[in-house]
Structure 1
Amino acid sequence: MKPDDMGVLFDEIAEHGTPTTVHLDRPLDLGDDRRKFGVADLAELVQELAGWLAAAGAGHRDRVAIVKENHWDYDLLSCAAVRIGAVPAKLSDRLPSNTVEALLKRLDPKVLVTTTAVLEHARAAGVDLASFAGTTLVLDGAVPGTLSLDDVRGHTAPGPRRRHDDEPLAVMHTSGTTGTPKLVVHSRNTIIGQLARFETVRYPVIGMRGDDTLVNASAYAHGRTFCWTASAFCLAPREIVIISQQDADRVDPVLRAHPPTVMEALPATYVRFAELTERLDNPFRRTRLFVSTYDAMHPPTIRSYLTASHRKRPLWMQGWGQSETGPLTFRFHTRSSVDPKQSGRTSRNVGYAVPLKTRLRVVDPDSFEPVPRGQPGLVLTKTAARCLDYVGETDRWQAKHWGDWWITGDLGVRNRDGSVDLLDREVDMVPELSCLRVEDILEERLPQALECVVLGQPGKAPLPVVVTVDGELDKESWLRAAHDILPLQEPIALTWDQIPRTGTGKVRRLALLEQITATAETHGTGRWT
């Protein structure tokens, strides 16, 4: 079947008799201790959640903001909001409290769904999040001036309310690597009709099978998982496993109990779980397909997973896209494509435009004239999946258009074969250098590095930051790794937790630069961030 109305998604799938079973790494944050659900259970749960939201005052076209700890209930609550005609807006609890305040002011939600920990963390920062919503529903306790679950349980939800295909369906925010995230508005046509339906095609080799165990380890506050929820359940694998945590030791038993045949995770999550690939009876031995989105992956990480698989020809499918557009390109990696003997090969080639869905163009960032193949420029795209608007920032949304083309804000090269090499975000660029390519080389040469980040500073050589387990990096290892790379500043070694990150684990490069140097000045203009 194809996804259609997210408010009744699970009802329709249950009517088809889909046998998919969902396993959770921990219970949802909804006062429910279950870790196992059938599709009919999920349909009942979404209907119950819709009753809660209606009891809290949400209705047709009202915005419902959701800010809580990372888990898939973000998407179940979103489905419940859609069911009653409201517009869900998912906000990550990893955002700074003042950023959440700014986004709530733009949203002006009728209902805020949150937890005591989120409210307390914000109050410690001097922000009263509940003051920016008509009503606040707290999922795990009683807070003065708010509603608790005891106040809304047992309320009968109104019947499902369908909206026009081009009306706002859901709001999700961008990663926020360069500052306050944008609030991206999608319709049923853009995120379900154009994106989720495309993913429900059973493609050869990579298509979902009835005996698959599909694992998703993601940041559920972001738009990708809303789309994924629609497509994954329509494809009806035998098992779906939801991972909400980043601790490899806690996740290991879940993955061993349900070893994935298909796995999708954040790039940062793959890095954090990579140690599992080296353990006896590693949980990825049955995996035939790994999927990564949000950001390009470094070759050593990809190689560790493909090597861990006992399948004859496991594949890695890498997608590049944006919250505003969905996937724009795709590329497959094999063991041979990330072989370190393949000199100069990096994962910064993000592949080809999605057939029949997207078009790409590389232009001069000043004149917007197309540049020849092989020359760097600003990447533009044309896609029917482009978002409707930015909440409260329509001028900013309009400024990212060049006629019918969308300005991605990324610098890249269109190769002779039509594939695209990503170089850098324009705001992070360094003249005559790709920071991302240098990072690939350094990670290949520094096995102890969890991650390498190269930051540009006007008037100075690029500044390398090396992330290690203990925040230490010996000088000899560094000199061997960087001996033939153009002059760099002395490296700074930090631990994973010392790096400012987005909810998806991306490095907030400007924040890191300011943290280290006390200035966020870069070579780029930041016009299209």
Structure 2
Amino acid sequence: MTSPFRGLRAALAADPAVGAGNVLTTRVERDLHPDAPALTFDTPVDGLPAWQPLSVRRLDHAVRIRASALHELGIRRRDPVAVQASNASDNILGFLALTRLGAIPALVNPLLDGPLTARYLAERLGPGVRLLADAEHLNALTGHRHTPLADIRSLVAGDPDTAPTPYRHWGGDPIAITHSSGTTGLPKAVVHSHDSLYAAIRHRLRLPRPQGSHRMLSALPSPHAATLIAVNLALSFGSELLPLSRQTGPDVLDSIERWRPASVYGFATTWTDLARHDLSARDLDSVALWWNTGDCAHETHIRRLVNAGTREQATRDGRVRIPGSVFVDGLGSTEMGHSHFFISHSADSSRYGRCVGRPHAFVDCAVLGPDGDELPPGEVGELGTRSPTLALGYWNDSETTYRTRVRGYFLTGDLMYRDEEGYYYHVDRAVDSVDLPGGQRLHTALCEEHVLAACPEVLDCTVVAVRSGDRTTTDVLLQLAPGAAPSDDRAPAIRDALGPDVAATLRDILVVADEELPLGPTGKVRKMLLRERHLARTAAA
């Protein structure tokens, strides 16, 4: 059946002026399905109850209200404005309103605490940046130096009829600042352009519409670059999107049962949270597609998810719905602007081992050695990538911007190799990998994958390895599935999974509670902090 939005996709794909800053205004100006449902929020918006969809026209009205109020507060073209709020609606409407004015929204994860937010604002964005936040986060910053602009909820007093004419973006205009996960320290402020945040969407507009894209649920943090891409993807495809304000496993599962999405977007931590639950006891039949970005997902979690849901399949008798779903895995980062790799898994998939698939058509990538030369298949090196999706660089930090560029490649910090068929495999982050005696190297992420495969009762695993002098020591931290006995001896299976070289460095296997693992704002384990604790424990011993 022909999609009623095929003309919309063709019109946007053919217009080189369309980008991440003006999809909404373009649809309104050109009368492209303005009454079709677009975004649904889990909180009320301007008198509209939670869970009730906003049409494109109603969404534009809400944005004009906020743009008018921001203009009255003196916000103009190129003004950087930080936004920190708990509700997805505040983040997304704040982004759309600021970009309408040509300002630069700097979205801050609401899980950053007050002191860390204050440092990020001062050291990354600059001491003069103005802040839009909800009352909770304004209160958390009391006593810290910052420049508040307004409570973000007060913007609802704006007059939509006095909103300025939408700013006309140029492709290289900075359109947003989002930040990295902060697992290695203070998050870095990453600058995206009008073209870069839309490049992958423009590519996808020319492809057949994927199954499940008509109704999408986002379990991504709402201030993340991936959410901004999801919003513009939905507006460009004529899809309905529900971005969640809370992304815990129970919140995601409850929202799936209530809203009935056809696809779910999330990070690797999302699938870990879902795997804690008995998915067979939940009504997930609406889901045909799970879409992962950021870190690649673990095989054990993927296999649980693809056994849930249902999807359409072409048969001699026409299209029928069959049990099971598809999981699209990839590898991306804030700086990469979009996943640069993809691989699809179903119940009968067999290519795992941290395989992230092949690169998208818009990506030119290579595995590089220490001197920047490309390595042959089978050799582990650092991923370098070129793509129109790449961020412009780091705000107020040209040193880091240029340190991460070699021969025109952006260095992602990921250690990978490719096989003879052109598939890429992720083994670790460079900062987490350590040397072993004899010229070998310990890759913590790959070790975690092996432990999870060997121990089905282990829900998640964190490997912490530290090199001190000529000695490497390793701890394995286990989070167990409900009902698993902490006292069971898992050492033989874990040693076999790690292999003899890594097993020789093993100091402890510890069962830990969730709250014992320090997490960054996007849910990633802060391995740097764990290594510091590891060294302190070693010194005390």
Residues 153 and 272 (structure 1 numbering): CA distance in 2 closer, same or farther, change over 3 Å? farther
Deviation digits for residues 94-141 of structure 1 (CA, Å, limit 9, x no counterpart): 224333223212324553111221133344xxx52xx422x421135x
Deviation digits for residues 172-220 of structure 1 (CA, Å, limit 9, x no counterpart): 111122111211111112112x22322333436x3556xx322111111
Q: Would you say 1:138 and 2:145 are equivalent positions?
A: no
* Structure 1 counterpart of 2:178: 172
Secondary structure (helix, strand or coil) at the match of 1:308 reads coil
Residues 494 and 136 (structure 1 numbering): CA distance in 2 closer, same or farther, change over 3 Å? farther
* Structure 2 counterpart of 1:227: 229
Matches within 5 A, 1:376-415: 376-415=380-419
**1:291, CA displacement in angstroms?**
0.4
**1:64, CA displacement in angstroms?**
1.1
* Structure 1 counterpart of 2:453: 444
Residues 277 and 197 (structure 1 numbering): CA distance in 2 closer, same or farther, change over 3 Å? farther
Deviation digits for residues 336-391 of structure 1 (CA, Å, limit 9, x no counterpart): 225xxxxxx63511111111x111211222x2232221011121112232222211
Residues 93 and 99 (structure 1 numbering): CA distance in 2 closer, same or farther, change over 3 Å? same
Secondary structure (helix, strand or coil) at the match of 1:13 reads helix
Q: Distance in 1 between matches of 2:203 and 2:488?
A: 50
**Structure 1 length-normalised TM:** 0.85
Q: Would you say 1:94 and 2:108 are equivalent positions?
A: no
**1:470, CA displacement in angstroms?**
7.8
Q: Distance in 2 between matches of 1:329 and 1:200?
A: 18
Asked if the contact 2:330–2:343 (Cα under 8 Å) also holds between the matched residues in 1, the reply is yes
Q: Would you say 1:84 and 2:105 are equivalent positions?
A: no
Q: Distance in 2 between matches of 1:334 and 1:517?
A: 42
Deviation digits for residues 443-462 of structure 1 (CA, Å, limit 9, x no counterpart): 22333433111111112332
Deviation digits for residues 216-268 of structure 1 (CA, Å, limit 9, x no counterpart): 1111111111122111221113x422222234444444321322222211221
Q: Would you say 1:25 and 2:36 are equivalent positions?
A: no
**1:152, CA displacement in angstroms?**
5.5
Matches within 5 A, 1:7-406: 7-14=21-28, 15-17=31-33, 19-27=36-44, 33-36=49-52, 37-69=54-86, 71-105=88-122, 106-108=124-126, 110-123=129-142, 127-128=143-144, 131-133=145-147, 135-139=148-152, 148-149=154-155, 156-192=162-198, 194-203=199-208, 206=210, 212-237=214-239, 239-275=240-276, 278-280=279-281, 282-311=282-311, 312=322, 314-326=325-337, 327-337=339-349, 346-355=352-361, 357-365=362-370, 367-406=371-410
Q: Distance in 2 between matches of 1:21 and 1:377?
A: 42
Q: Distance in 2 between matches of 1:501 and 1:455?
A: 14
Give the letter aligned to residue 520 of structure 2. T
* Structure 1 counterpart of 2:318: none
Residues 149 and 161 (structure 1 numbering): CA distance in 2 closer, same or farther, change over 3 Å? closer
* Structure 2 counterpart of 1:144: none
Asked if the contact 2:457–2:484 (Cα under 8 Å) also holds between the matched residues in 1, the reply is no
Secondary structure (helix, strand or coil) at the match of 2:94 reads helix
Q: Distance in 1 between matches of 2:161 and 2:75?
A: 13
**1:309, CA displacement in angstroms?**
2.0
Asked if the contact 1:501–1:508 (Cα under 8 Å) also holds between the matched residues in 2, the reply is yes
Residues 249 and 418 (structure 1 numbering): CA distance in 2 closer, same or farther, change over 3 Å? closer
**1:408, CA displacement in angstroms?**
1.3
* Structure 2 counterpart of 1:497: 515
**Structure 2 length-normalised TM:** 0.84
Q: Distance in 2 between matches of 1:383 and 1:213?
A: 28
Give the letter aligned to residue 356 of structure 2. V
Q: Distance in 2 between matches of 1:288 and 1:47?
A: 35
Asked if the contact 2:248–2:270 (Cα under 8 Å) also holds between the matched residues in 1, the reply is no
Residues 8 and 417 (structure 1 numbering): CA distance in 2 closer, same or farther, change over 3 Å? closer
Larger mean Cα displacement after TM superposition, 305-314 or 79-88: 305-314
* Structure 2 counterpart of 1:341: none
Q: Distance in 1 between matches of 2:161 and 2:146?
A: 24
* Structure 2 counterpart of 1:342: none
Secondary structure (helix, strand or coil) at the match of 2:269 reads helix
* Structure 2 counterpart of 1:481: 493
Secondary structure (helix, strand or coil) at the match of 2:183 reads coil
Secondary structure (helix, strand or coil) at the match of 2:108 reads strand
Secondary structure (helix, strand or coil) at the match of 1:350 reads strand
Q: Distance in 1 between matches of 2:252 and 2:363?
A: 36
Asked if the contact 2:466–2:535 (Cα under 8 Å) also holds between the matched residues in 1, the reply is no
Secondary structure (helix, strand or coil) at the match of 2:525 reads coil
Q: Distance in 2 between matches of 1:442 and 1:27?
A: 44
Report sequence identity in percent.
24
Residues 244 and 363 (structure 1 numbering): CA distance in 2 closer, same or farther, change over 3 Å? same
Larger mean Cα displacement after TM superposition, 418-427 or 456-465: 456-465
Residues 50 and 519 (structure 1 numbering): CA distance in 2 closer, same or farther, change over 3 Å? farther
**1:33, CA displacement in angstroms?**
4.5
| Structure 2 alignment gaps of length 5 or more | 1-8, 312-321, 436-440
Secondary structure (helix, strand or coil) at the match of 1:444 reads helix
Asked if the contact 1:331–1:350 (Cα under 8 Å) also holds between the matched residues in 2, the reply is yes
